[in-house]
Structure 1
């Protein structure tokens, strides 16, 4: 591996964990709802259903 696991973990945290936490804390996602992750213009897009 060129970079290793630590940079990958930081990227996952920044691009997925933090936005998901904001959705949960903001009430956008409730128990039992699904969160769909798509890629739009090279960026992750989270949406709830």
Structure 2
């Protein structure tokens, strides 16, 4: 398949700051994923429900 590049996948390590023991997740996300979808992925990976009071 000349001319077609393989989609990139980003490997991202998400760490909860100031936690002891360290709490982290490794996430694989396609490079073409829109930011709102990535936000949803982060919420799922952390077990959050998008209800934080800012």
Normalised by the length of structure 1, the TM-score is 0.30
Q: TM-score, normalised by structure 2?
A: 0.28
Higher gyration radius (CA): 2
Structure (1/2) with the larger strand percentage: 2
Structure having the higher helix fraction is 1
